[in-house]
Structure 1
């Protein structure tokens, strides 16, 4: 039998060694792991969930308008030119009368009533526009819009043509020079034209190959589609 002090010393030594052995055993003991496999996505599966077509808001485009100055075929027979409103359909004649009445009043705000009563806002510019009347004033040579109203009367009092008959672009166009071959203009027609534009304006348009001054287009149903200048 060991002496008491030796027994106690031996017990203390065992207690000191035991935790270290246990730790080494724990480190040496392999940890059981399990590999989890994730199935790859299907080749045709979209990365982003598809949104139903009926859930996407779409903007309805207005009726097609003359977005650019039309290039007239110089080899084609010139269109028939009309004057006044005798040969116009009633809806077209009514819109022309409303525009003339507003223009001759000298109050450009009268044009707001005509534009707002229209089926769609007509094309007044190929750029951005906030308020149509303010835009017309800014386009005029004076702050009150008198010049643009005068141009409007000159256009609607000039001859007109009926173009693109039977198509979605069918239109009554003022002045007829916008759809008339320049090379086929008679001396009398050129005098009519110079009541609206200057010789310098015409020379520029002739070199460009299209009428780029103001023009008006009214559909057969009386809808004003454009009162615009430019190309």
Structure 2
């Protein structure tokens, strides 16, 4: 006896739908698969385009960032030291040939070594006049100002010093020739050994020890101004390979 609540055998729905689809001539379930592919559709691909076979670059799905898999990214604007081109700091000099800083005075010619030694002895004495015999005369006179040579280099150095006896300028001279130095202008009329090496170095690339060494000569405010200016502009001293004291000047 049926009660109205008797269970009726349930026919699975999926086979029925499949049969109806086959009967209607639709033999592919592609619409459902295609709907999934729409999630990663390549921009610009028409809705009825047939996806390319795997391995075809046009058929590969593309990340939302816009870069296709296995495609190399563009080179960075600034390359590191291992690359051929290196972005240069604005205001820096040409660093294609790194500056070689020399600390070993025995590596320089004997005339250079002798002149430096005489300058150190005269400056350490506290007597500015002891520099005069080292400075030459006429066209060979040591340059102590930028521009036209002065008639009395010792008097000019005394005027540049912060004290009436010239002790400050002698102390600066000692500090300058106590640093590392560089050899510049090899094979030219400007062949010279120059102290300090900061005169030929990009100040924005200084290492911490180099900064400390420079701050033994100038103040932190001076260093900041130099970096803004684009180079070292304090006193520098130059001696030719023949041992001639060429200059002791401040400026760029």
The TM tier, using the shorter chain, reads: 0.5 to 0.7
Q: Which residue of 2 aligns with 1:188?
A: 209
> Using the alignment, how far apart are the partners of 1:229 and 1:112 within structure 2?
19
In structure 2, the residue matched to 1:120 is 140
1: CA distance between counterparts of 2:196 and 2:98? 14
Q: For residues 20-55 of structure 1, give each alpha carbon's deviation from its aligned partner in whole angstroms, at most 9, with x where no partner exists.
A: xxxxxxxxxxxxxxxxxxxxxxxxxxxxxxxxxxxx
- Check the 8 A contact 1:74/1:183 in 2, yes or no: no
Task: Give the whole-Å Cα distance in 1 for the aligned partners of 2:117 and 2:203.
Answer: 28
Hey, what's the Cα distance between the residues in 1 that align with 2:217 and 2:236?
Answer: 11
Give the RMSD, CA atoms, in angstroms. 1.9
SS in 2 for 1:116: coil
**Could you say which residue in structure 2 is the equivalent of 1:99?**
119
Change (3 A) 1:118 1:211: farther
* Partner residue in 2 for 1:163: 184
Displacement over 4 Å in runs of 4+: none
Correspondence for 2:231: 210
- Change in Cα spacing, 1:132 to 1:117, as seen in structure 2 (3 Å) is closer
Deviation at 1:155, TM superposition (A): 0.6
Distance 1:119 1:91 in 2: 19
Inter-partner Cα distance in structure 2 for 1:110 and 1:207: 37
1:69-98 deviations in Å (ceiling 9; x for gaps)? xx8625434311111411111010011011
Is the contact between residue 119 and residue 223 of structure 1 (CA under 8 Å) also seen in structure 2? no
Aligned ranges for residues 1-231 of structure 1 at < 5 Å?
Answer: 73-116=93-136, 120-127=140-147, 129-231=150-252
Structure with the bigger RCO (C-alpha within 8 Å, sep 6+) is 1
Tell me if the contact between 2:185 and 2:191 (Cα under 8 Å) persists in the aligned partners: yes
In structure 2, distance between residues paired with 1:75 and 1:221 = 28
Distance 2:103 2:138 in 1: 24
1:220 to 1:106, Cα distance in 2 relative to 1, 3 A: same
Tell me by how many angstroms 1:117 deviates: 7.3
Structure 2 Cα separation of the partners of residues 74 and 181 of structure 1? 9
Question: In terms of mean alpha carbon deviation, does 182-191 or 102-111 score higher?
Answer: 182-191
Q: Which sections of structure 2, spanning at least 5 residues, go unmatched?
A: 1-90
Structure-2-length-normalised TM-score: 0.60
Aligned partners of 1:188, 1:95: CA distance in 2, in Å?
A: 28
Q: Which of 187-196 and 205-214 deviates more?
A: 205-214
1: CA distance between counterparts of 2:153 and 2:95? 38
How does the TM-score come out when normalised to structure 1? 0.65
Gaps of 5+ in 1: 1-70
